[in-house]
Amino acid sequence: MSVAAELDGPAEPFRLSQLFYDQRYRSITLQIITIAVFMLMVSWLVTNVIQNFEDLGKTFGFDFLWQPASYDINQKLIEYSSVSPHWKAAIVGILNTLVVAFLGCILATIIGVAVGVARLSKNWLVAKLMTVFIEAMRNVPVLLWILLASTVFSSALPSPRQAPVMLGGGFVPTNRGFYVPAPVFNDGSIILGIIFIASIIGAFIFRRWAAARQARTGDILPVFRITMAILILPVFVMFFLLGMPIGLELPELQGFNFQGGLYIRSSFMALWLALSFYTAAFIAENVRAGIQAISNGQSEAAYSLGLPPSRTMNLVILPQALRIIIPPLISQYLNLTKNSSLAIAVGYMDVTGTLGGITLNQTGREMECLLLVMGFYLIISLLISGAMNIYNNSVSLRER
């Protein structure tokens, strides 16, 4: 301090106006004012809440979560019945959200990449069709798409009793959902699982070895085919040697509905497909922009080095394009996850439908339920954007 004072010249007595005019103090003054105003606002809001709750005779607390929920949920990934507590209903909802968001991200990426590449097709018809798809999807609210998809599934497909049984019972489309065979695990399936995991590890080891070998000798092995062989062959052979421990359970019409097999509800399908297609349109544009951003010189240079087109794509274009594509892609994932809260419009029981919907309604705990729901989405968002930041840092151009 004394050093600084000496450097600044003779110390002047402190004046109040320095708080505003002196750069050294101004920022601190302003920050204190900011904090004060902010705290004032917050305390004002909190006092209002307390006062309002008192007036209405409401209490704040999360004990309602342990009361029985007394409603049923159709799609549940964990054990749940109407006597289960509200917190369990919330967990069921959270899992349902995660399922539709996860599968939605995967499907949206597949469709989006396909459409984005197809939009750059030299075939006029394909390119235009993809443009129409993208524009139609992007310019209509996703809620409308979800509602339309739900209507398509419930109005355009046959009821279970008239439903066509396709692929020998392997696939039954009905207006309540789709039935597909469910795997049945018998004795010995654990061994099969262990073998499969071992194959994956083996494939990894092989790939590393092949890469090292290529670096050493320059020889290129047909890595993809050999990897596939390592992954599939042992499992395939063992499957028969062990006497087919994994079977399929086919759906069968019994009473009102099909029984057995996996039942994918139409509410899920509507939400999943609508979200995926809607998000895919945005992803397609990101992909197109990413590919177009890579200058032609890159591929020309790769060709002149003698790389075949597939390797040009894999080794030169994609790594560069991905750096441009992935950040917006992840924010699209984030949007998809948030948009999955529109499940409420088609009766898919996600977390907004259970905790933020029925539980909120039946208990009248708006504040607590919405806090929990928002907290959940916030955590998901922060996790995803955290992952994005890590990725961004890892691929950012090392500028020299």
Per CB under 8 A, which of residues 287..316 are in contact with another protein? none
* Measured distance CA(244)–CA(185) in Å, rounded: 10
Nearer to another protein, 124 or 224 (CB): 124
Q: How far is the CB of 148 from another protein (least distance, A)?
A: 6
- Integer Cα distance of 33 and 27 in angstroms: 10
Stretch that binds another protein, among 3-11, 151-159, 308-316, 321-329 (CB under 8 A): 151-159
Cβ atoms 93, 84 nearer than 8 A: no
185's CB contacts (< 8 A; 6+ apart) are 245, 246
Q: Does 248 bind another protein (CB under 8 A)?
A: no
The 347-376 contact track toward another protein, x by CB under 8 A, reads x-x--xx--xxx-xxx-x-xx--x--xx--
* Residues 39-78, interacting with another protein (CB under 8 A): 45, 48-49, 51-53, 55-57, 70-74
Choices 2-10, 87-95, 107-115, 144-152 (CB under 8 A): range interacting with another protein: 144-152
5, 144, 233, 301: residue in contact with another protein (rule CB under 8 A): 144
Minimum distance of another protein from residue 237's CB (angstroms)? 37
Alpha-carbon distances of 80 from 69, 73, 75, rounded to whole Å: 10, 8, 10
Nearer to another protein, 6 or 366 (CB): 366
Give the residue among 248, 232, 235 at the shortest CA–CA distance from 186: 248
Give whichever of 57 and 218 is closer to another protein, judged by the CB atom. 57
Q: Which is nearer to another protein, 71 or 171 (CB)?
A: 71
Q: 299 Cβ partners below 8 Å, 6+ apart?
A: 312, 316, 317
* Least distance between another protein and beta carbon 161 (Å): 8
Shortest reach from residue 15's CB to another protein, in Å: 14
Q: What's the gap between Cα 32 and its chain centre?
A: 40
Tell me how far, at minimum, the Cβ of 83 lies from another protein, in Å: 8
- Report, in Å, the least distance between residue 370 CB and another protein: 6
We find the least distance from the C-beta atom of residue 125 to another protein, in angstroms, to be: 5
CA distance 73 to 355: 12
Among positions 20, 66, 209, 236, the unique one binding another protein when judged by CB under 8 A = 20
**How far apart, in Å, are the Cα atoms of 335 and each of 104, 105, 231, 348?**
11, 10, 35, 18
Name the segment binding another protein (CB under 8 A); options: 189-197, 244-252, 303-311, 336-344: 336-344
